[in-house]
Amino acid sequence: MARVVVTGGGGFLGSHVCEALLARGDTVVCVDNFLTGRRDNLEVIEEHERFTLVVADVSAELPVDGAVDAVMHLACPASPPEYLRLPFETLDVSSLGTRRALDLARANGARFFLASTSEIYGDPLVHPQVESYWGNVNPNGPRSVYDEAKRFAETLTMAYHRYHGLDTRIVRIFNTYGPRLRPSDGRVVSNFLVQAMRGEPITIYGDGSQTRAFCYVDDEVRGLLALLDSDVVDPVNLGNPGEFTMVELAKIVLEITDSSSRLVYEALPTDDPTRRRPDITRANELLRWSPTIDLREGLRRTYDWYQQEAARGRL
Ligand code: UDP
């Protein structure tokens, strides 16, 4: 039973991580400034006796007192429209914020866990992506505020490991979805499900032939905690290898929502990766982890949540 600091604990993924940590008996200090996170995400755990919320911007301060066993640094805008709208906040939280989170871990002799991303592979020339691939990133394109910031965060983490002997973990998270993905988040799964639910056109960017591999949040969180508990210092991909084009995703969404929305085609964002799919051999072998929830099942569960939100007048 550990005391774990989770930066970005009010976000989509962070709130699920906090919940899973509490469920297994850990004590959680959630740090969030709710820039892209939501207080509503915490409503099921906010009153928990082993849960504390610290409202702070980790780029500026990380005011956590008392002993800490692990620091999980999840804070960062993660949706392309949001990190493009918040370029400096994204750069700061991944550089200054990562540094602060590393220093907190170091001061406590704690384990440090970095949420990195499949975006560090950029528009990948190696497919599926293995951890040994260095990536194909435009260093000054619009997406670089996220891609390069996360690459820098990996560099900083490994520098603390090498020079300070800090115990570190790095996960590369591939597209994750599920309940609490905000309707206005801007990512493809929330956009398509909400559009289908409202009978609005489904917006496909480009010709929709680009691919992504989508992991349901419960599978992802189980992997994150397995990595946290492991002794694996090298980066580990965690994602579902099932790969779909955006047109295929749109059709599955129409099918499970029983919607008659039509498909409309819009401009492809600059440097949008053509394809993406994790090679999860490392997670398989070292963590004994693999995802169990397929896309249709995960989308059904997520859609149920959006319907519940709508019934509560929150959508
Ligand atoms: N996308 C789309 N329609 C949308 C939102 C996104 O076709 O309404 C595409 C986007 O261009 C990308 C893919 O879906 O190719 C995944 O986008 P998302 O923003 O979810 O995540 P990314 O993997 O790009 O970070």
- Give the whole-number percent of the chain exceeding pLDDT 90: 99
CA 131 centroid distance within chain: 17
Judge if 3-176+215-238 and 178-212+242-276+293-311 fold alike in CATH terms: no
Fold of 3-176+215-238: Rossmann fold (3.40.50)
C-alpha dist (Å) from residue 68 to 28, 64, 194, 214, 249: 10, 9, 39, 33, 42
Domain ranges (residues) in the chain: 3-176+215-238, 178-212+242-276+293-311
Q: Does residue 269's CB lie within 6 angstroms of at least one atom of ligand 1?
A: yes
226 lines ligand 1 (CB under 6 A): no
pLDDT band, residue 314 (cuts 50/70/90): confident
Phi (first) and psi of residue 173, to 5 degrees: -85, 125
Q: Compute the average pLDDT of residues 55-70.
A: 98
Q: Are 160 and 106 in contact (CB under 8 A)?
A: yes
Q: Is the pLDDT of residue 185 over 90?
A: yes
Q: Do the beta carbons of residue 102 and residue 167 sit within 8 Å?
A: no
Architecture of the CATH domain 178-212+242-276+293-311: Alpha-Beta Complex (3.90)
Put simply, whether the predicted model's pTM sits higher than 0.85 gets the answer yes
Q: What's the confidence (pLDDT) of residue 263? A: 98
- From 71, 16, 76, select the one nearest 42 (Cα to Cα): 16
How far apart, in whole angstroms, are the C-alpha atoms of residue 201 and residue 312?
24
pLDDT at 201: 98
Confidence of residue 315 (pLDDT cuts 50, 70, 90): confident
Q: Say what the pLDDT of residue 216 is.
A: 99
What pLDDT, in 10s, does the model give residues 114-131?
A: 999 999 999 999 999 999
| Residues designated catalytic | 146
Ligand 1 nearest-atom number relative to CA 273: 15
pLDDT digits (tens, 9 = 90+) for 6-32: 999 999 999 999 999 999 999 999 999
Ligand 1 centroid vs 251 CA: distance in angstroms? 15
173 lines ligand 1 (CB under 6 A): no
Residue 124 pLDDT = 98
Q: Name the helix (H) or strand (E) containing 177.
A: strand 176-177
